[in-house]
Each structure stands twice: as C-alpha cells, then as structure tokens.
Structure 1
Amino acid sequence: MGIIKRRTPPGPRFTFKCICLLTALFSGSALIFIVSRSNNTLFLISEDYEDLYENQDYNEEYEPENTSTIHTEGCRIPFMNTVEESVRELIPLNYPNDMEPCKEKETGKDFKDKKDLPYNVLILGIDSVSRLNFHRTMPKTAAYMKDLEAVELHGYNKIGDNTFPNLIAVLLGKKDTELEDTCLPNTRAFFDNCPFIWEKFQRAGFSTALAEDNASMGMFDFVKRGFVGYPTDYYFHTFIHQAEHHAGTNKDNHAFLCMNEKFFFKILLDYVEDLATTLKNKLFGFFWEITMSHGRLNYPMVMDDSYTNFFIKMHDSGYLNETIIFFMSDHGMRWGAFRQTRQGYLEDRLPFVFVLFPPSFREKYNLAYTNLKLNSRRLTTPFDIHSTLLDLVTLDNIENERIDSRSNESYSNHRNISLFLPVPRNRTCKTADIDDHWCACHSRVAASRESVEARESAEFVVSHLNNLLKEYPQCSKLKVAEVMSVTELVLSGSEYTKWRELSVVVRTSPGGGVFEATVGRGAGRWSLAGAVSRLNFYGDQSHCVPHYQLRLYCYCS
C-alpha cells in the first residue's frame, strides 16, 4: 500500500490507495487468471487540470522565451531547449515525492537465455503524450532514454486527429480514409482482412503480439468492430476485457486505472516482460498504454518510475542487446484548457518518439543508423515509421551497400520514406501528405475575431459539421455561439499567391462544443484543409451516434 501526496504550489492533486486481491498466472503461452473480488477498492481523488486555467485568456498567443527551431528549407518545427523553464508559467507541475501506489515483489526475470536471431522489434506506446509533455511528466524515463543513446525524433508530426489515423499509418502505411478501398469497406466491417505490418513479420518467422491496457477504448474497438479471430500469436484483448468487467476499479475518464490492486499499465509492462522471458523465437510486438495518459495531461508522471525501471531491467538483463524498440506516442493532448493555448496547439501535433538500437546494429548497419540520427531533426511522420518497420523484417535492405544505392534513387516526393534513408531537408507538409490543419511547420499571426471573414469562416465550419450529421436526425443542428479565436497561417510558395488559410476556433450551441478547423479561401470560396478538431470534452453528449468520428460533433437532442 502506498500513497501519493502532492505539495504546494497548487496543481492537480492525486491520492492513490491500492488494495484488494488479484492473482494472474502466466505459463508459457497459456494465461490463467484468478479474480478475488472484495469490497475494498482503489480510490482516486483528483481535480481536473482545467481548473488551473480558469482565468487564462485563450485568445492570447503563448510564445515561450526559451525556444528554438528545427531549420529546414521547407519546414520549421518549433521545439523547446529547456522544457522545464519554458512551461513553468503555463503548467504548474508539482512532481510527487513519495510515489508508491502499489508495492510488488521483483520477479527476477532473466532474458539472457534467448537465442534469437537479430532482432526483436517492439513498439511501446503511451497514448496522448507530446514530446514536451513526456519530458515534463516522465523526466526519469527521458533521462534514461538519453543514457541508452536512443534517437529522439524532434520533427515527428502527426497526420490525423486521434489515435486511429496515426497508428493506422504506422501499422498499414495508409491513411484511415484509404481503408475503404482496401480492407474496411464499411463501418460494420472487421479488421481481419487488413494487411497489418505484423503479418509480414509473422511470415518472416517472428512470433507476434498485440496488447493494449484498455479494451473498450482500444484503437480497433472504440466504436469499431475489432477482430473476429486472433490477429497475432499473442493477443491480450480478451484478458483485458474480462479484467475490466470483473476487477476494474477506479474508473476515470471512461477508463479503469486499476485491476484491483494493480495499475493496468503495469500489467501491460509485465506482459511484455513475460513474453520476452518465455519466447525463444524472435518477437514483433505492438504494446499500447491508454489508461493513465489518454485523458489527463499530468497523469503520465505516475508511470515515470515504472517505465524507467522497466527499461533498466531490460537493459541489465541483456534483452536490449537483441531488440529494437520504438518508444512513442500518437499525438499530444487533444482537448482541455491547455489544448486551447498556442502551446497546446503545437504539442497536440508533435508526439514523442524514441528509437533504441542495440550496439551491434549501430555497428553493422552504421549507414542506416547514421541516416536515422540525421532524420531526428527533420520532418517525419507515422508513414515513415511504417517504411522503417518494413526494412526491419529481413534487414537485407539496410546493408550499407543497399542503403547507399537506395539513397541515390528518386524518393524525395514520396509520402512514405524509411528513416534509414536521408529524409530531404526541404521536405514540406504537402510532400509528406500532412494536411495543413495538422502541420506544425506553418507560422501563424493573430487575426480579428470581429471581421466579416472571421464570421464567414466560422459559419462555414459549422455548416460543414451539420452536413456531416445530416443523416443523423437525432443530432441537434449546431449554430455559431462564439468565434473564440482566428489566426492566419503564413504560407509560402507560388501556389499560395491567391490563397489564404485561417485557423478558426468556434464555440457552438447547443452543447457548448469547441471546435478548431483550418479553412482556405481562394476564388471567393471556402474549403476545409483537413478534419475538424474538438477541443473540449463531450462526455455522453453524443451517445446516440454509432460513428466514432461523428461522436466528436453530435449533440443528441
């Protein structure tokens, strides 16, 4: 049992108390779990971090003093040199000093007996964490990434709104809108026919695993049909689904944080460790944490020690000597008061990514590794992660001679570029197929909220939302209640001579939804540059709509 206490200055307050019983037994590929239910539960006392911003003027641009920029000919990605100082005014964080929510015995697991051929490939994800918020809330893990000489992608830009489009690009190399023509013809279809990257690894002789620490909010299951069969050799969904139903405690933001006395994210990390201990074959694994990070800006700090210790054990056991790890997120915080600031706007678009390579890989595939380090400060996307994974299936394509040959080919305008090849310095969001709405490269200047143009752009956005909802009469017709902010994107290039783009934030009624959209105007007409983002929580307002995307917009009558 342990308690986390927060001290002044004021900020979000956490109190965790873990009790109750649950035993999970792993034996080879068989999983047996015994659940003992009790009246004892885990309690969370918290205050929403939105209270921190009660008096914030969301129309005011936030420009931190200690900033720098990734300079390329085509794109400039802003980033912070000193994260802690640059955000102290904006996010009054207070790290807990006594973090012992659940004490557990060391398992003494040893990876040294594995005789795999090189290399295991793992994707370890933490949902909804920007690069800067990772450094703020998980500083110990960030420091250990540096100790491990992990390559951090400073210019990694998301390509869609939420988890689904960004991870579909990683796992399939496609936009989610392209799935209709390949494997997902309608909203009632299952994902079994989609050619996910793990199938290529499986055909190459790898064992495969897919695990998320939440079943109802998983990327394939939230208002979607999921899989009929088992997509991978090891599939954690059934266990998590039953654990949530029978032993889930402390529900927060639609997710159970604990399985009785144990955090779900810890169960996920233990599962990764169990697979690494048990399997004698090469492993491709996709493991994604959702419960702690999805809806709260500061909750990832609770995971800092656990992830640090996880990587320390993996390193000390020797497992990292035969494993490549993509440690990453899908996007930053997408809603809440922080998201409505200029800082939040950027962080939403710039998730964290670290790539860890064994020393033997760096030596043998030194040209590929050198290129990846070069690309750490260039514009990169989830599509590039997919192409990089393809190169890791057999490793033939990343031998030095092959990399040298491929580097001389014409690929600069390709959407999907392996990070083992030099990404062009002059790459732009347009060539990377990032909609202007998601592009962090563009500078912005404030515009009047009172202008005719501002009102027209807001009305166009709301009209677009109503058009999307027209087949759902149970949704109320939305109206513009307030134009909250308008900024103009600074665009360069001959194609923008007679073209302007505005980023508009509008509050609608009924329901009070806050939406952000990028709209363009040319030849007297408005058009949308990407999807429309929702910036505040919608709770159960859209319970009457089955479509996952339209739930962002609908207000049920």
Structure 2
Amino acid sequence: MESRLRATHPLYKVIVFCGFLGFLVFLTQLNNEISDLELKESAPLPKEIQKYYVKTSKCHIPYVDPFTPEVMEFYSPETLVTCTNDSDLVFTEYNPKIQRYILRIDEEVAMDLMNNTDVEYNCFYREVEYGSEADTFDKLGSNKYFSDGYVVPTHVEGIVVECRTADEPSILLQKDAFTFVQYEPLPKDMKKKHGVRKPSVIMYGIDSLSRINLRRTMPKVFKFLQGEGWFEMQGYNKVGDNSFPNIFAILSGYSAETAKEHICDTDTEGCFDKMPMIWKYFKNASYLTGYAEDESGSNHFSYLKPGFQKKPMDFYFRPFLRALESKLDITQYGYMPYCLGRRIANRYIYDYGRMFTERFVHERPIWGMFWSSHFSHDDPFMPSAMQEKILGDLLDLKSAGALEETIMIFFADHGVRWGRLTWLKEGFLEERLPMMFIYLPPWFRVTYPSFVRALKINQHRLCSNFDIHNTLKHIIEMGGTPDGPVLPKAFDCPTCQSLFHVLPEDRTCAQAAIDDHWCTCEPYIPISDQAWTDQISHSVIDRMNEYFVAKGLSALCSNLTLYYVIKTEIRTGVDVKWHDDQLPELEKAVYRVKFKVKQNSADFQATVTYNNVTQTSEVNVEQISRTNSYREDSTCIEDKLAKLYCICFSDLKS
C-alpha cells in the first residue's frame, strides 16, 4: 500500500484548503501593513522636539534659530566699506632667506598719482619710538629716505611712511604705516631637543559676537569652523557683563573683586604688572608671547583702567596703535575708529598676529592673543561685512601651516548687550552666549586621544571663562617635566577644570562660577500680573538708588524712577512645568525683570530674589544689565561699573 496520500483523498483536500486560507490571511495582513505605512508616511510629522545647545540633568540651554521671523524683520547684511580706492604706492614683503622685511615702491602707482608727469618724488619713513611707559610712544624719529628694495633694520618695529613730490612746496602722494614682527633667533638653551612637544596657542578674539550672531552674520566662517579638528563649546556661558570681567577671568583666573582682596586693585597703577596673568606662565615655560588690540580707547586694560607700566609681552602692539591713531587720518564708524589711514583698523591687528605666528611657530612654542572691537562692538550686523576678511585670516594661517602646530581659540567676550536684538525673546541668550571654538592640530589629537574625547563630550556641557583659564594652564603643564610644578587653577572657581577632562554631567552655574544673572541654564516663564511686576521693579530701583548713596554718587547721579515694566519672568527650574495661570504662591522666588526708568529712558535688566510677603528684593546692583547705550548718560563720573546705572544730573534730557 502506498504511504503517500492520493489527490482524491479527503484529508488531502482539507490540507490544501487550509493552506489557501493561510495564504489569503498573509496577503490581507501584508496589505494592511502597507496601508498603515502609507498612512504614516503621508501623515503630518510630529512637532520637532526643541533643540538645545546643552541638555543635562541640571542645565538646559536652548538652541536659538539665528533667522527667526522676528530677526529677519530688521536683519540686513552689511557691505564692506574700504578705506581707499588707491593702490599701494609702498608695500612690504618678507624675505625668509635673510629673515628681513623689504620696502617696495610701485612705480606705476606713483605715475598714476602724479598724473603721468615727469615730476620726481621721494619716499621716507619715520620710526615709531617707544615711550617711557609700556602703553605709550614718545615720538616719530627723523626722516629716513629709502628707495625700492630697502631692507628694514631689525630694530625697527613700526614706521609711518610718506611719499612726496620733490618740488617745493612738495605735494603728498600717499601716506601709510607698517608694523613689523622682527625675527628673533632661538636662544641657545632652546636649541636642545625637548622630550615633550609643546603646542603653540593663538587666541583670535572678536568683541560682542555671540554664537547665534556668528551663525547669522558669518555663515562662511561658521562653516570653516565645522572642519576637522574644531570643537564648538556650546555650553560656554559668560561670567560678567562687559569685556573686562570676561577677558580678565580667562587671562588671570580672578574677578576684579577677589583680585583687589588678594593681590591688588585693578583700578590702581601698577596692578596689572603684578597680576599673575597667563602670559607670564607661558613666558616661564619658554613660550614667546604677543598681544594686540585694535582700539586704544576701549582696550581691555586701559578703558577706565591704568594699563601697564612695563612692557607685558615680548611683542606688544599698543604703542604702535597709539602712534597710528595719532599720526594717521581716522575715519569713524560709530564711536570707534574704522579706518586708520588707508587701512581698516583690524587689518593691523590680524596682520600683526599673522606675522607673529609665521615668524616663530615652526621653530618654537608661542602664545598670542589678537583682539578686534571696532567693527562688532557698536553694530551687531557689521561682522557680515567683515566675513571675507576674517575667513581670509583663518585660511592664511592654515595655508602657512600654522594650524599644524597650534591650538587655536576663536572666541568672543559676550554677545550684543544693547539694541534691538536684546529685545527679542532670545535676547537674554544672545547676550550671554559668546562664541567659543577650539582647534586641536592633528599631532595633538593623535598624541592625546583622551583629551580629544573629553573635549567632544564637553562641547555640550556647561563651561565658563574660568575653565578656559584652566585649559591654558593645562597646555603649559603638558610641555613640562613629569615632576614639574602643578600650576594654580582659577582662583575664583575652585570647582572649574581644564576642558581636556570631562566636566560633570550635573554641573550647575554655581559650580562654573556663573552668577544667577548671567546663567542661561534654568528656564523662566513670563508673568503678566501688572501690580506684581511693578512691585518687583520698584524694589530693584530702590536698591539702585541706595547704591548711589553708598558709593557717594547721589550728588552727581539722579534718583531713578520707574517709567514702565517691559517684561517680568519667574524662574521655574529645569524639571518644573508651570503655567501663567497656575503660578504657585511662593514666599520667595527668583525673577528676571526688564524695565525702563523715566530718566533718559534708560533700560535695565535685573535678576532678583523677591520676597512676596515683605515686598523686598535681594539684588547685586553691579550685576544689573544696562540694555541700551549709556555713553552720553554718565559723563560726570569715571567709575566703570557705576557708569552703567548713573544718569548724571548734568546729562538729564527733558
């Protein structure tokens, strides 16, 4: 008997029928799955989850779209304004074989300037001579005539050049100025091979440029900074109001207040010479040091400050800047010089930085900081006009091979502090989140993989100026001996650390030495109760008026009175969800208030702890932000902090 079933067997028919039913069920399920998938793909996407620069357990810093509709209503990229249309009659070139600068004269330009006549002309320079103090120059030297191909003597670091017709009276054809970073050979003791390779450090700074405004005004620069080796510190939060406290924290590890208590008063002559500034540590580690800023009136160490009594670095630009500002024609843009003679002011700074870097970076470690204020301080959109210039500076350093040797810090002190951007919903973040990019050269990334890993993690963790200070100290320590001294860390932040070590995930602003008023970690929500918000602002103004009395300024500064409240917000904390109609009845809470006073329509923003029972406030007046220009309101006093709040009786407007 056959063991297999015949096709006519009844059981065989049952099996075939069941198989057919199963196949139909499979097709139906497949059809349903395809239909469901099509429905999902055609349905509207869920609302995008909010992005964050930082989102940790204790800190939420929201990402800000640089191109919101509110910004685009008034954002307009600026066009670069040049200082002259004439070609250079005199220019310089550097001969690397003889390591000397050479002056060149363009005869064709000379003919154009003289309208192709046969008149003879002469060119001469006057040397910029140092003054008796570090921040000055005494005079220009006597006329030194030169011809094409003249080799500049190695002692000359700055010159003012004139070319004139030989006739009497002579006619000025062109006036210009040049600075030089003259090559210095390595000291004998540095020619020995070091066991550990030391990275150079170049700090390239732009005043008042937030990471938001960088993306908005310099997209090409931002794209360059996305390249390999670059790290954006997206949790970088400023620690003070204006340039000085933020830059001082990076370069010294101190605030002015604790420096006064433990070392010296930064408002007194000679203090900056005594301070343990970062360049002193680099100098002690055999680094060559350089420094330049582009506007002497708002220099970090000289704006309402005494400056230096002694030359602070090996290559120090300020005396040459004073000469340029006094001997060349100046074109203003806003309140600052835009053109120094024939050149945009920042060109002198970054040319000086480029020369300093190219002269030395390939044979010895260097530290330099090169800072520009004039084009970004008064106009938040002017950086758009400078984009190609700044990108060119970065590309020049790259093409010269400088980035192969150098840790580069491309950064700002703070964002825009007044004007229309500060009135936006995101204005609080625009002001408090300066850009901070750190570049690590290839050899460094290979040699120190753990530091690279830490920096990658730290990109999205809260950090401050004091961490940058500690990072600079860490770089210095890398080139030392294993048993060498450990350098002191930032005095004002015992819990701060080098960014080459992983920062705590649960870090708070207090742990980074960022006071409440500057902290961007905790969310606030608006409150609309008019009586409540008026009370808080009135209490803040009371503290401000008491401040004038305590400082002995009440005879010069008008008492302030509330005009109206612009906005009041209450701090909720990162894990709390409140709504305006469900605010808890708290005895004491932290508020952020923005208000206008009647005196000269001055605008202020304060972070205040307000007691709703006693109707009193706790606020540090010297951390209240002035959010419109105070330049013409406080001419009667010189106190750098009090100028933010004082409306002089002599400056009162009707």
TM-score, structure 2 as length reference = 0.68
Cα distance between partner residues in 1 of 2:95 and 2:58: 47
SS in 2 for 1:463: helix
C-alpha distance 87-513 of structure 1, shift in aligned 2 (>3 A): closer
Kept after mapping to 1: 8 A contact 2:358/2:402: no
Deviations 1:265-284 (A, max 9, x none): 11101001111233353211
Answer yes or no: is the 8 Å Cα contact 2:208–2:413 preserved in 1: yes
The 3 A distance-change label for structure 1 pair 373 and 290 is: same
Q: Mean alpha-carbon deviation: is it higher for 83-92 or for 153-162?
A: 83-92
Matched residues in 1 for 2:236 and 2:387: separation? 22
2:249 matched residue in structure 1: 169
Q: Report whether the alignment pairs 1:462 with 2:554.
A: no
1:119-149 CA distance string (max 9 Å, x none) = 2111110000000101111111111112343
Q: Identify the match of residue 335 of structure 1 among 406, 412, 418.
A: 418
Q: How does 1:14-413 map to 2 (within 5 A)?
A: 67-69=50-52, 70-80=54-64, 83-84=66-67, 89-94=72-77, 96=79, 118-185=198-265, 187-190=267-270, 191-279=272-360, 280-395=363-478
- Equivalent position of 2:619 in the other structure: 528
Q: Distance in 1 between matches of 2:61 and 2:434?
A: 12
> CA–CA distance in 1 between the matches of 2:509 and 2:213?
23
Q: Deviations over 1:138-166 (max 9, x none)?
A: 11111111234310111111111111111
Aligned mates of 1:384, 1:357 — CA distance in 2: 17
Task: Tell me if structure 2 keeps the 8 A contact 1:369–1:420.
Answer: yes
In structure 2, what is the Cα distance between the partners aligned to 1:128 and 1:511? 24
In structure 2, what is the equivalent of residue 442 of structure 1?
522
| Partner of residue 432, structure 1 | 512
Letter in 2 for 1:205: S
Report which of the two structures shows the higher radius of gyration computed on alpha carbons: 2
Task: State the alpha-carbon separation in 2 of the partners of residues 91 and 439 from structure 1.
Answer: 27
Tell me, what secondary structure is at the counterpart of 1:392?
helix
In structure 2, the CA distance between the partners of 1:243 and 1:335, relative to structure 1 (3 Å rule), is same
Change beyond 3 A, Cα 1:397–1:532 = farther
Contact 1:65–1:86 under 8 Å retained in 2: no
2:158 corresponds to which residue?
A: none
- Would you say how many aligned residue pairs link Structure 1 and Structure 2? 478
3-state DSSP of counterpart to 1:482: strand
Q: Return the alpha-carbon distance in structure 2 between the equivalents of residues 504 and 102 of structure 1.
A: 47
Which one of 484, 488, 491 corresponds to residue 566 of structure 2? 484
1:518 aligns with 2:591: no
Q: For 2:385, what is the secondary structure of its paired residue?
A: helix
Distance, in Å, in 1 between the alignment partners of 2:49 and 2:66 is 8
For residues 299 and 95 of structure 1, what CA distance do their matches in structure 2 show? 6
Partner of 1:32: none
Q: 1:135 to 1:378 in 2, by over 3 A?
A: same
1:422 is paired with a residue whose SS is: coil
Verify: 1:541 aligned to 2:633, yes or no: yes
AA in 1 matched with 2:315: Y
| 1:503 lines up with 2:620 in the alignment | no
Contact 2:238 2:414 survives alignment (8 Å): yes
- For residue 254 of structure 1, report the CA deviation from its aligned partner: 2.3
The separation in 2 between residues aligned to 1:397 and 1:390, in whole angstroms, is 11
Residues 474 and 134 (structure 1 numbering): CA distance in 2 closer, same or farther, change over 3 Å?
same
SS in 1 for 2:296: coil
Contact 2:358 2:400 in 1 (8 A): no
C-alpha distance 208-196 of structure 1, shift in aligned 2 (>3 A): same
Whole-Å separation in 2 of the counterparts to 1:262 and 1:66: 47
Residue identity opposite 2:564 in structure 1: E
CA contact (8 A) 1:111 1:318 kept: no
TM-score, L = length of structure 1: 0.80
In the alignment, residue 568 of structure 2 is paired with which amino acid? V
Deviations 1:22-69 (A, max 9, x none): xxxxxxxxxxxxxxxxxxxxxxxxxxxxxxxxxxxxxxxxxx989511
State the distance in 2 between where 1:242 and 1:130 align: 32
Q: 379-388 vs 303-312, which deviates more?
A: 303-312
User: C-alpha distance in 2, partners of 1:180/1:493?
Assistant: 39
Structure 2, unaligned runs of 5 or more: 1-46, 100-184, 191-196, 485-492, 577-584, 650-654
Q: Deviations over 1:235-274 (max 9, x none)?
A: 1111112222332522233210110111111110100111
Partner of 1:42: none
The 3 A distance-change label for structure 1 pair 149 and 483 is: same
Deviation readout 1:348-406 (Å, 9 max, x if unpaired) = 0101011011100000011111101110111011010000000111315899xx9xxxx
Q: Secondary structure at the match of 1:77?
A: strand
CA distance in 1, matches of 2:56, 2:601: 40
Q: Secondary structure at the match of 1:500?
A: strand
Larger CA deviation: 540-549 vs 249-258: 249-258
The one of the two structures with greater contact order (alpha-carbon pairs below 8 A, sep at least 6) is 1
Q: What residue in structure 1 maps to residue 130 of structure 2?
A: none
Task: State the 1:428 CA deviation.
Answer: 1.0
SS of 1:394's partner is helix
Aligned AA for 1:554? C
CA distance in 2, matches of 1:186, 1:357: 33
In 2, distance between residues paired with 1:317 and 1:551?
Answer: 44
Deviation at 1:108, TM superposition (A): 7.0
8 Å contact from structure 1 (residues 110, 317) kept in 2: no
Q: Partner of 2:388: helix, strand, or coil?
A: helix
Q: 1:449 to 1:504 in 2, by over 3 A?
A: farther
For residues 59 and 343 of structure 2, what CA distance do their matches in structure 1 show? 44
| Matched letter for residue 456 of structure 1 | Q
Q: Please name the residue that 2:503 is paired with.
A: 423
Q: C-alpha separation between the residues in 2 aligned to 1:65 and 1:547?
A: 48
Cα distance in 2 for residues equivalent to 1:493 and 1:345: 20
Distance 1:108 1:379, change over 3 A: farther
Distance (Å, rounded) in 2 between the aligned partners of 1:282 and 1:248? 37
Q: Using a 3 Å threshold, how does the CA distance of structure 1 residues 446 and 248 change in structure 2: closer, same or farther? A: farther
Q: Is the 8 A contact 2:561 2:597 kept in 1?
A: yes
Contact 1:368 1:398 in 2 (8 A): no
Contact 1:121–1:285 (Cα < 8 Å) also in 2 = yes
Query: Identity across aligned pairs (percent)?
Result: 29
Does the CA-based 8 Å contact 2:523-2:574 persist in structure 1?
no
Question: For the residues of structure 1 that align with 2:222 and 2:84, how far apart are their CA atoms?
Answer: 22
Report if aligned partners of 2:464, 2:513 keep a CA contact under 8 Å in 1. Answer: no
Shift in CA distance, 491/147, structure 1 to aligned 2, threshold 3 Å: closer
Residue in 2 that maps onto 1:13: none
